[in-house]
Every structure is written in structure tokens, then in C-alpha cells.
Amino acid sequence: MAAGIPAISWSGIIDLEGFISETDGNSAEKKDDLDFGNIPSANINQGGRNDAFLRWCIYELIGNDRDLLKEATPLNTVSS
């Protein structure tokens, strides 16, 4: 998108802002105390939706600055 070239994601989250909002306070899934940057990938649930890991990835993308969520959300930047 930055280069003006059409892009599609078959599995990625395109509404980062919405995902973070939807998973706020989800105690059953939220494990923000895990340091996914320093644990083996084999120890990360990769067999289905893993909200804690996805939240960590998104926060890493935005430098842990929640104010950048709107700007980082691909859904907010796509056009026809």
C-alpha cells in the first residue's frame, strides 16, 4: 500500500484497531505478561487464533504506542 500497489491478505488482520479493541480485557485469552520475543516459536499456539500473541505482534508493530493503531490499521488506508 505504501508503494501504491494493490495488496491482499488472505489471513492477516486488516483491522488492527478493531482487533485490539475487541480483545481488550479478554482475561481468557489475554496474556500480555508473556514475552513472545524471547520464547521459542514452538511454545506459541500456532494451531488457531491466539489473541495474546496477535496482540503482542500488533503492539510490536506500533512500538507499544496505542495512539498509532488507527494509522497502522490497513483497513483505514485501502482504497478502490
Task: Inform me whether the pLDDT recorded for 6 exceeds 70.
Answer: no
Q: What pLDDT score does 12 carry? A: 72
Arithmetic mean of pLDDT, 16-27: 84
CA angle (49 as vertex; 46, 16 as ends), nearest 5: 115
Sign of the dihedral defined by the CA atoms of residues 22, 28, 34, 36, in that order: negative
pTM confidence score: 0.65
Pairwise CA distance, residues 22 & 20, whole Å: 5
User: SS3 helix, strand, coil % of the chain, rounded to 5?
Assistant: 45, 0, 55
Q: What pLDDT score does 2 carry? A: 62
Could you give the 3-state DSSP secondary structure of residue 40? coil
Task: Inform me whether the pLDDT recorded for 63 exceeds 60.
Answer: yes
